[in-house]
Structure 1
Amino acid sequence: MEDKLFIPATNAYSEALDLAKEKHLYNVAGYICSYMADLYTYTGQRSEERRKYEEAAAFFKKANNTRSYAFALRDISITWVFEDSVSLALDLMLNADSIVTEMNDSVGIASIANGLGNIYKHLDQIDKAKSYFFRSLAYDTINKASTYMALSHMFLNNGLLDSARFYLEKTGSTSRNPYFYSDRLYTNYMIEEEDNNPLEALQYLEQYCEAKDSLYDVKMQVDIIDAEKRHDSLVVIRQNQKLYSIIYLLSGLILFVSLTSVLFYLYKNQQRLDKINKQQQLLDEKEQLLAKLENEIKQKGIIDISTSKEEDMQIREKMVQAKKEILILKCEKLQHSLLFQELIERTNNKKKYGQTLSEQDWENLKELIDSACPNWQAAVQDIETLKKAEIETCYLSFLNISIKSEAMLLGINPDSANKRRLRTRQALKLANTKTGICEFIIQKTLENIVI
């Protein structure tokens, strides 16, 4: 920076900023962004300068560096003044002023008072501008050059040439501001021109042009932006290379997990099918036994009345027992049916399947349960006639799901689902028992089986 080698400076700052961000050194990152903004100050690129000051402000805020945060707000405000967004600049500067005033920071108060003075000068509020300029001089007894320069400009604009010269002479000849020297020469030129001294004015103008030309040129502006962008591009390329490596690793991991999940699903599905097949085999055996018993009763007719009644009773008892076992097997088989599996899965993944049961869902559910447990409504309604909502709760009880899941399938809140279930239990006289609704339905259906 001191040698005005701006491209190497940009590269060095960019690398330093990457390291600071990587190590979460937010205070250091804030200062580096401020230094990078100074690069754009030299080249007169206000929008780029503001961008870096805004980044600095964000880092200082993360680091809880309130003082530097206030100065960053001040610097952002100044860039808006140069773009004639004075109202926005004023809000930022007043915010910065409230921070340093609360901290009782004399240097900060002086610096930001100078900024407020310049803003009010742009707004032609001369009294307020003077007040803040003199406040700045009162708080900072060392770095007064910029405030004297601002006073000189203000008096020049108001035609008070002697006062303008007086304050310009007080500025001295040095400042940390890269524009200060050329600005001082240009102010001298304007004063002499206004005072009708053309020779002196021309001398100052020539010196000003030389100073300005040595400060920056257009090519330099583009090079700095390009340097920062080139660095950012290299960082992105490196990040992408790391990202590709991570992607390849994750792809392999995802493939492994996917294959494992598929195999596990196939294993669980095979288990489910094996269970269904075993239940179906038992069911077939029981149904064959039932058919055999029914056939025996038909064949016996009225032969040997004295013994046939006893044999008939035994056969009928066996038939009842077979029917009960068939009903229990069918109800157990429900749990492994595709419809039950889908409905239970729906409660765990509502994004995939949707939320509430459709009319077709209800029809399918009722048909499946009624085929496994026929006449269950007649069996339970000898206690009390059930309402539509209570009958639906009875059907859902076969799924053996939680209140929350039941509420999701019904499209109501859990409290409402809980109340529905309590009313159903009351209707079935189960309020003070631990018997489940589904268990009670199967039990009552079994009791009603007759030949």
Structure 2
Amino acid sequence: MEEQAWIGLYLGRSYVKDKLFVPAMKAYSEALGLAKEKRLYDVAGYICSYMADLYTYTKQRSEERRKFEEAAEFFKQAGNERSYAFALRDVAKTWAFDDSLSLVLCYMLRADSVITKLRDSAGIGVIANGLGNIYNLMGDIEKSKSYFIKSLNSDTIYQAPTYLALSSLYYDENILDSARCYLAKVTGAPANPYTLVDRFYLGYLIEKDAGDTEKALSYLEQYQEKKDSLYDKQKQVDIIDAEKRHDVTTVVQDNKKLVEEKLLLFALAVIVCLLLVVGYQIRDKKRLLEIDRRKKFLEEEKSRHKKQKTELEDRLQELTAEMERKAAAHEDTSEYKKEIIMLRFEKLRQSSLFKTLKEQCRKVEPGSEQKLSEREWKSLIHLIDSFFPNTCVFMKENTLGLTKTETKICYLSFLNLCLSEEAILLGVSSDSANKFRSRTRQKLCPGQKGSDINETILQKGW
């Protein structure tokens, strides 16, 4: 029975390799059912881990987390402490994408405790790398560095991600020589292909800040080449599986045609002749009615939006005047501020640019360039500045030393985007977008975990 469960796991993995996800999930599910029935907890844990990886690929975050949690429980029951520690690490990763750093740290510390007891140097290095990244996101740079050094001392094989992380830390501190030194140690072919892509982009940032235009351009060209290569791989589709399903459908249809062809042929000929006459008239009438209906609907929508816009402007003027009067009388104006901000956000949501950007995030096509152009950034910044003039002054003064990317994060916060949508508009990976968001939050409100970037900007810029 155990051998059959392992066979099911390997069959599922082979399907995944060929991008046949439906058959892969079926093979995993059948193997997991057998493993649970026979209490084969170790193999059940591995099956759940691979099922979670499949959900990672399809971006079903909640299902991914659920399967990693199941894997951890199975490994614990099987007494497989090493795999249990890595399963806890994988659960932590899913919470990291939801910006729940306290939960991430809790799971990673549990994983560290388990792997340390085993004295598994390679495992200790992997977990230490994860803790270094977490403390970096939390703004505790010294702890982050110490865990990265611990990772390098423990794991002598998979060091590329740790060197890249240390290089990024020193770049953020503007210690370019150290950043360049650690970046040079990122060699070979890392297990994660994005590590190599991020290496080239970080190299571009370092050399650009150092003033070496030639090297910066070289890194940027290599970054673009590697990124395009990854996008090309992501564009692959499940062609084999589609062909198999098409073949089965074709066989069924052909058999049905052979049985019914003689009976239906005459009836179809008569029906087609009648439908050609009647159908044309009905279709033409429906077409004209649909045109009239759409025209009327568009006119009503235009009128409604115009009325809403006028009412919104009138209310804003009324509130602004009343707030100025209250301020002159040294009375509380907080409620007026809240309503004015709410109305300005409503104006922003009604703008064509806002709707265009939200639609752009919704219709993501792998492999195509989705990030905003410089012209689009200028349009977005101008639009938000026009609605929030006080915030505009705060952003231009830039007393907190925000970088260009961090300024963009601030402006994107007005659009109420999720992490993946921000990554699309910035043209970076979700991991990079998460780092940018965390660093911006640290500058705006140091020491405050989980604070809202947009709320903080509005408070500082009023």
Quickly name the TM-score band, shorter chain normalised.
Answer: 0.3 to 0.5
* TM-score of the pair, normalised by structure 2: 0.43
